[in-house]
Structure 1
Amino acid sequence: MYRYDEFDAAFVAGRTEQFADQVKRRLSGEMTEEQFRPLRLMNGLYLQLHAYMLRIAVPYGTLSSRQLRKLAHIARTYDRGYGHFTTRQNIQFNWPRLSDVPAILKELASVEMHSIQTSGNCIRNVTTDQFAGAAADEIIDPRPVAEIIRQWSSLHPEFSYLPRKFKIAITGATHDRAAIRLHDIGLQAATNAAGEIGWEVWVGGGLGRTPMVAKLINSFVPNEHLLAYLESILRVYNRYGRRDNKFKARIKILVHEEGLESIKGQVEAEFAQIRGGVLTLPQEEVERITTYFAPPDFRNQSVTKLDIAYESILDPAYGRWLDNNLNAHKQPGYASVTVSLKPVGGAPGDATAEQMEVVADLAERYSYDELRVTHEQNLVLPHVALADLRTVYDALVAAGLAEGNVGTIADMICCPGLDYCALANARSIPLAQEISKAFSAPDRQKEIGELKIKISGCINACGHHHAGHIGILGVEKKGGELYQITLGGDATEQAAVGKIIGPGFEAEAVPAAIEKLVDTYIARRTEGESFIDAYRRLGDAPFKEALYGAA
């Protein structure tokens, strides 16, 4: 994985020192909260309902064991003993004292981490496929390009004060596990007629108040010109993006109102001017950064196949874990292991300091000192030998991290909601906890199959409810909390925005409503048909009738 060079180290150390002085002036009263706000946001520090919240960048979701241990230390020393992993592959601490934040940032800098550009109207943390560099279906490891984009976008002088925040996602596989079509810019690996690898560029996606699926603006941009093309898009957005209305300031609105062809023409005009200039990526520089992401020195394995059916007979819980939590690896004898952060009755995405240390130890011993954060709020050990799976599983059982529920109805995405967030209208975590209890039976989960539930506590959609097969949005109505249900959302290469199917429900009625939707699906599905495929075939009608009765 990438290591800081001298510039990175000096850059982060300098920013940490600057912010320490700013915090000192805020605490002494030399600076008001209004004056402090833009400075803290540049360093990922939010003021939420009850306390400050610090969001720490995990570029393209990749961590070392040393870094995760440091996060565990910060959770134990400066917070309340846990951290919350987010849909941008970052981690948030919800209870740091302002006076401790400079010390936290200094601790982070010691392991090549920071919180820069995790908030504000800038280019945010670049996200990617959690199995990058390991997945059997991968065309190319996207992380070297993600790192190049990180270096290009960090404190970019032209794009530090954009009309609104800007998010980029990238995947190197044919199957989109990074939700690229729901980002301001999405990049997907592609090959041209000559067999060269480049990138499809999608623009204008996003969730929030006005959810939209991105549009394909260019079907093939070579690696060497990718930065120039991205810069061209950002220039057009920075010039024409709405600054008079924050609700219409995202690039998705610009693309929608101006039209894709108009935006594409302006981007191509910019690209024609800067193509071939200083933004052209030298092949030797691409190769230099790529060496940081070279595959581990894999050892030949005697175990190259798993008999999951047999293991399920011997130990059903272990069999479920093997069946749901493994992803096919490009190296024979290995698998990528997803560590579920979705225990029954737990807060999705939360991990205690002790659990982080367990996962760090497992990564060091069994995954070549590497792990990942997923945008679905889980962790991944990307390179585990099949022969070591039982040992890893047993360690996860002891740590309370062995739920075999990845991809099932219990593997929910959930924002912090009204328990923490000042923007939220409703609670998200308690609802997720109740749904997980209602569907905790493993046999029920298996009967249902893949079904993605995503929950947001407000229209900002930090829980990606628009992209859930079943989405749940908390709204405020007459001083109370109500929950709207959407159906048909999808974050894959078949990206779609879910549709509200009727009036909202009180919190206590939501689990029963989900049961009705699931029962309707099971009663009407064809053999092997998933929930999302059944919904696309059947449409709204049977699900509406199940919830609200015949029209």
Structure 2
Amino acid sequence: MTTQTTAPAATDTGAAPSRVRPSRAGKPNGQWKVDGTTPLNRNEEVKQEGPPLAVRERIETIYAHQGFDSIADDDLHGRFRWWGLYTQRKQGIDGGRTATLEPHELEDRYFMLRVRSDGQALTPAALRVLGGISTDFARGSADITDRQNIQYHWVEIEDVPEIWRRLESVGLETTTACGDSPRGFLGSPVAGIAADEIIDPTPVLLRIKQRFLGDPDLADLPRKFKTAVTGHPSLDVVHEINDISLVGVVHPELGPGYDLWVGGALSTTPRLGERLGAFVTAEQAPDVWHGVIRIFRDYGYRRLRNKARLKFLLADWGTEKFRDVLETEYLGYRLPDGPPPAPATRPGDHVGVHEQKDGRFYVGAAPVVGRVGGGTLTGLADLIERVGADSARLTAHQKIVVLGVPADRVDELVAGLEPLGLTARPSLFRRSTIACTGVEFCKLAIVDTKDTAAGVIAELEQRLGGLTDRLERPIELNVNGCPNSCARIQTADIGLKGQIITVDGEQMPGFQVHLGGGLVGEGRDAGGLGRTVRGLKVPADEVADYVERLVRRYEADRDGDETFAQWAHRSDEDVLR
């Protein structure tokens, strides 16, 4: 097969390859502008043997007609991801076998399909399409992820072209929803409508998407690339844990624009993003985004996948060098220095009733750990039309926000959400708990997450209802099924990392505990990673007991308005067990 590559032409940036030193071990890191584009592992070979985005044509013309068994292995386990498709976990395989079985033994003949929303306002028509896909093709499944995606399960390859047709009829897509590519963009759920907004990020997101989404030159990155853009003072897009974030600020001379952050990501080696100190105007933002993603493409480490995220390059370069390379090699001009974002004004989940700048209202509602389903999405579309509201957006906290509610219909909307499994007045733990997919469908997971978290919420609502009314802010509980931190365990008040534990000689599902993390966009005065409580392993069926004990101890011990994170970091480990 003829080898193809999307390596940049020499004239793409005019960059000289001497800026970056070879690795200390003397081995090439697979940096295209340093080491050349020869692939150093099988994953890189697959991407160069055939453009990943080209697999769509094979899905539509071959695989959807000939079925699962016709799918070529490199497409099934590689290129499908560029169109949002992963095989899901075979049912009945417990988490203790995750590490002992080969990937093909874990996978089923069904797919998870991820739909990106990119901060888009979902009209009733779009919600009905999303609900109909769930009902018709995904056995009623649909989850709101903490990346503002909708995620389906039980999808069959034969149905994928029709799903794409329906999505595209309402302006939605799965393009690069997974894979080594620009993943779904996080956008402020209240963009353009919040009374206290600094700048509306909608035009920036649209321009980036229109110019670059699906660009073959950006479809072969070292690993995934995550984007967040907000202009709201609640800092509602978890900007510290994205590869690039543009955060609304007001420059004292240039007016509203964006503060530029790069290099954030969690997984097994968490690292919070860093400010470059550069101010970016709305007009410059798409080019700045393009510059940062090309730095990652050209200089990112490709030899080892566990070292291939942008955060590792930033750690080696530092912010000063990164900014210099961006400005001199990719932009061709200097960016002005700018101010940092102010501390968040309130939690960025937007739960509750809030007045818009036009006198109407937006209402943030919580499902249980992001689970919605076809009936909920379709029913929400009907409710929005019935009360005369406009649309809805998804949040980075597995919530949904209804936009443009007339003032005299707010109570009707709030009441109508409840039968749909949504609530604008959730309990503290329903509001603040998120969970990843877990062992139910994920091939990497070790423990159940969604049902475990739902059960814990129900228990804590019974046990802590009165106490939580006395707490000034939610206490986040993030539940993850493996070490990869899709549910952001290191940045939660209470983060639970799934693993198989041994209690009295018996193996069982359980969790390692992280405490005291937080992001400034979640209402924290300062963000940071949580601490691991050494040696503490909590059985899955004792999580509610542990959280209740911990919250009661915090309520009794806290000093004045001390936050949970502050208390957790100062307390002795014996107190936290």
- Smaller-chain TM-score range? 0.7 to 0.9
Establish whether residue 76 from structure 1 lines up as the match of residue 142 from structure 2.
Answer: no
Write out aligned runs for 1:375-386 (5 A): 375-386=396-407
2:520 matched to 1:499? no
Distance of 2:317 and 2:294 partners within structure 1: 15
1:359 to 1:25, Cα distance in 2 relative to 1, 3 A: closer
Deviation, 1:34, is: 3.2
Question: Would the aligned equivalents of 2:351 and 2:401 in 1 still touch at CA under 8 Å?
Answer: no
- Taking structure 2 as the reference length, what is the TM-score of the superposition? 0.78
1:139 has 2:198 as partner: yes
The residue that corresponds to 1:20 in the other structure is 60
Match of 2:416 in 1: 395
Kept in 2: contact 1:121–1:165 (CA 8 A): yes
**Residue ranges of structure 1 left out of the alignment (5+ in a row):** 1-13, 277-322, 343-347
2:470 aligned residue: 447
The residue type paired with residue 46 of structure 1 is Y
User: 2:571 matched to which residue of 1?
Assistant: 540
Deviations 1:408-441 (A, max 9, x none): 4653110011111001122212320221022114
Contact 1:455–1:465 (CA under 8 A) maintained in structure 2: yes
Select between 241-250 and 473-482 the one with higher mean Cα deviation. Answer: 473-482
Please give the secondary structure, in 1, of the residue aligned with 2:225. Answer: coil
Q: Is the alpha carbon distance of 1:229 and 1:204 closer, same or farther for their aligned partners in structure 2, counting shifts above 3 Å?
A: same
Q: Take 2:68 and 2:112, find their aligned partners in 1: how far apart are those partners?
A: 20
Structure 2 distance, partners of 1:33, 1:66, is 36
1:180: how far off?
0.6
Tell me, yes or no, if structure 1 residue 337 matches structure 2 residue 368.
no
Output the CA distance in 1 between the equivalents of 2:548 and 2:482: 23
The correspondence of residues 238-387 of structure 1 with structure 2, limited to 5 A, is: 238-273=297-332, 325-332=352-359, 334-342=360-368, 348-366=369-387, 368-387=389-408
Q: How far apart, in 2, do the equivalents of 1:110 and 1:324 lie?
A: 30
Cα–Cα, structure 1 residues 39 and 150, in superposed 2: closer, same or farther, change >3 Å? same
Match of 1:302 in 2: none
1:184-263 mapped onto 2 (5 Å cutoff): 184-263=243-322
Deviations, residues 479-511 of structure 1 (Å, cap 9, x unaligned): 642301111211225321111122221112222
Cα distance between partner residues in 2 of 1:58 and 1:468: 24
**CA–CA separation in structure 1 for the residues paired with 2:66 and 2:493:** 45
Moved more, 213-222 or 259-268: 259-268
Give the SS at the match of 1:100.
helix
Pick one of 219, 222, 238 that aligns with 1:163.
222
Alignment counterpart, residue 455 of structure 2, candidates 417, 434, 440: 434
How much has 1:272 moved relative to structure 2?
4.5
Question: How far is the alpha carbon of 1:328 from its aligned partner?
Answer: 4.3
Query: What is the aligned residue count?
Result: 480
CA deviations on 1:293-328 (whole Å, 9 max, x unpaired) are xxxxxxxxxxxxxxxxxxxxxxxxxxxxxx962234
Task: Decide whether the 8 Å contact of 2:301 with 2:307 is kept in 1.
Answer: yes
Root-mean-square deviation (CA, aligned residues, Å) is 2.5
- C-alpha distance in 1 between matches for 2:438 and 2:242: 22
Deviation of 1:393 after TM superposition, in Å, equals 2.2
Separation in 1, partners of 2:207, 2:513: 39
2:514 matched to 1:486?
A: yes
CA displacement, residues 491-537 of structure 1 (integer Å, 9 cap, x when unaligned): 2253211111222211122221111210111012244544235446x
Counterparts of 1:472 and 1:196, CA distance in 2 = 42
Deviation at 1:469, TM superposition (A): 1.2
In 2: Cα distance, 1:444 partner to 1:498 partner: 24
Return the TM-score normalized by structure 1.
Answer: 0.81
Cα distance between partner residues in 1 of 2:189 and 2:331 = 34
- The one-letter amino acid of 1:105's match is W
Task: Indicate conservation of the 8 Å contact 2:114/2:151, yes or no.
Answer: yes
Give, in whole Å, the separation in 1 of the partners of 2:193 and 2:128.
23
Matches of 1:355 and 1:520 in 2, distance apart?
37
- Matches of residues 33-112 of structure 1 in structure 2 within 5 Å? 33-50=73-90, 51-112=110-171
Percent of counterpart pairs with the same letter?
A: 27
Partner of 1:300: none
Q: Does 1:472 align with 2:499?
A: no
Aligned AA (1:27): G
Give the counterpart letter for 2:151 in structure 1: Q
Equivalents in 1 of 2:334, 2:380: separation in Å?
44
Question: How far did residue 64 of structure 1 move?
Answer: 1.0
Q: Is 1:410–1:445's contact at 8 Å kept on the other side of the alignment? A: no
1:8-51 CA deviation, whole Å, 9 max, x = no partner?
xxxxxx99665311424762855423344333212111101033
The yes-or-no answer on 1:511 pairing with 2:544 is yes
Task: Measure the CA separation in 2 of the matches of 1:108 and 1:406.
Answer: 34
* Residue identity opposite 2:510 in structure 1: L
The AA in structure 2 aligned to 1:446 is D
CA distance in 1, matches of 2:546, 2:267: 24
Residues 291 and 331, structure 2, Cα contact 8 Å, conserved in 1: no
CA-to-aligned-CA distance 1:247-281 (integer Å, 9 cap, x gap)? 110001111122222222222212453789xxxxx
CA contact (8 A) 1:326 1:335 kept: yes
Letter in 2 for 1:401: L
